[in-house]
Amino acid sequence: MSFQQELRQLFPGQIRSVDATGNNEIVILLNRSDVAPFAKYFLAEHHARLATVFAEDRVAPERTYYIYYVFDRPGESPWLILKVPISSYEPSFPSLAADMPALNWQEREIQDWFGIVAQGHPNPRRVALHDNWPDVHPLRKDFPLEMVLPPFVGEQHVYRPTLGEGVFQIPVGPVHAGIIEPGHFNFAVAGEPILYLQLRLFYTHKGTEKLFENMPIHRAVFLAESISGDSAFSHGTAFCEAIERAANIQVPSRAQYMRTILLELERVTNHISDVGAIATDVGFVIANAHAGRIREMLLGICETLSGNRLLRGMVSIGGVRRDWDESQLEALEPTLTLVEREFRDLVRLIESSDSTLDRLEHTGILRPEKAKMLGVVGVAGRASGIDLDIRRDHPYEAYSQFDFRVPVYDAGDVWHRTQVRIDEVGQSLRIIRAAMAGLPPGPHRAPAQPVPPGNCAMSAVEGWRGEIIHWVRIGENNRLERCKVKDPSLNNWPAIVEAVEGNIVADFPVINKSFNLSYSGTDR
């Protein structure tokens, strides 16, 4: 019995259609909005993971909204997407957040942006729209991009009060003493130990998904690169892959190898920077100085290969914008050799410091069961027992051509989040060298071609923080109708709340840095 037949037998009359597209997706359109039985079945019987949930406004052409639930089944290549119709007359859907806390923010985003009520949500307060937004829903199609909202002050966000003798609140932010973006951290402490943490983000909601609407596809690549500046190439690649799947564009092998090299360079650059930053947050400043020196080597080779230190402006629909000549390739290997040697020395320096290890080990523990419950991805997930890596599980670009190890630990503390980064640097250098050795000849980009209107596709890329998802619907005249973006930070911010409990306030900076999440990617 096929998977489609199995579903129709288990859920008679509830499935309108099943479309096993050529885009590595199985899209199941339901007849009604009750998705809970399907979700429970996929999670229990197929050990699936609910990767993301998002909405789309199709009121004008179809008089309905849709909510998409994207499942990842271990050992199965196609993504499983449940497409659920929502009435435009009484827009609501049954919340799954009580049983699946990973959906908490994502369902509330749907409420804020589309006005579709998450019935039964355990905490239905606004999350993406703040107090200075009136009652509007900016991702509805009838909300014009050029809309200027009048001055408005709504009910102020109320934090959970502190109770008990000797319990105090310590508010941190939303403006910080650094160049990071705003985020508010509200600690409840009894002396030094943290009893609980409340956090609030979306202070700089930029309306990125609204900006994508009706944008020419070739221009939208640059917007994708700006979603999270230190992941410019990963987000740009995820966007381009979604468009390429929607248009059935075959990316040349040379371009796939070049993209793989640049993706891994972005990973190595940020991982080494993080290792140094984690060290400096426990006072080992000299280690951070060495990490900054190594990072500068990598930024230099990134500029040599792409013309930009953060790899912006290199990825394009169908491949990459510029090919490499022999001098550029010859510059890469000596840099990798030097980086590998210097980073090995840096790791030895950190491991030789007992005082540093004492601050990192057993600090900020995220238990595997909590990580799984919250849907934590990327470095933080792999340090807490989540064996997930899109490069291996859903290979893209040239990753299927290379053998590499995905480091996974169960301890879930700051040191093991650091250790995952250390291990991944070594694996990434191996991948880069293998890709250089096997770099095929040929074109670096597929010929430009129009993208058929109405086509949809999803892509997933393992950014250096974790899983990045882009989903697109193509509009008329090579323009976008919808682009959904999910940065890994959206999943991982709530995990910090769990990781800091019971730790002292002085350890919060290093715990936070060991996750190193993106305000920009979350606020988008």
Residue 179 has pLDDT above 80, yes or no: no
Domain boundaries, the chain: 3-119, 167-200, 208-523
β-sheet with 480-486: strand ranges across:
456-462, 467-474, 480-486
Can you give the three-state secondary structure of 188-208, one letter per residue? EEECCEEEEEEEECCCCCCCH
pLDDT in tens, 367-384: 999 999 999 999 999 999
The span from the CA of 16 to the CA of 7, in Å, is 11
Q: Are strands 79-87 and 25-30 parallel, antiparallel or unpaired?
A: parallel
Percent of the chain whose pLDDT exceeds 90: 81
Domain 208-523: CATH architecture, name and number where available: Orthogonal Bundle (1.10)
pLDDT bracket for residue 23 (50, 70, 90): confident
What Cα–Cα distance (Å) separates residue 158 from each residue in 126, 182, 316, 331, 448? 11, 18, 45, 55, 52
Domain spanning 3-119 has what CATH number? 3.30.460.80
The β-bridge partners of 197 are 187
pLDDT in tens, 283-329: 999 999 999 999 999 999 999 999 999 999 999 999 999 999 999 99
The β-bridge partners of 466 are none
Note the pLDDT of residue 8: 83
pLDDT in tens, 409-426: 999 999 999 999 999 999
Residue 361 has pLDDT above 90, yes or no: yes
pTM of the model: 0.95
- Fold match between 3-119 and 208-523? no
User: What does the longest C-alpha to C-alpha distance in the chain come to?
Assistant: 71
Q: Provide CB contacts within 8 A for 455, sequence distance 6+.
A: 246, 247, 473, 474
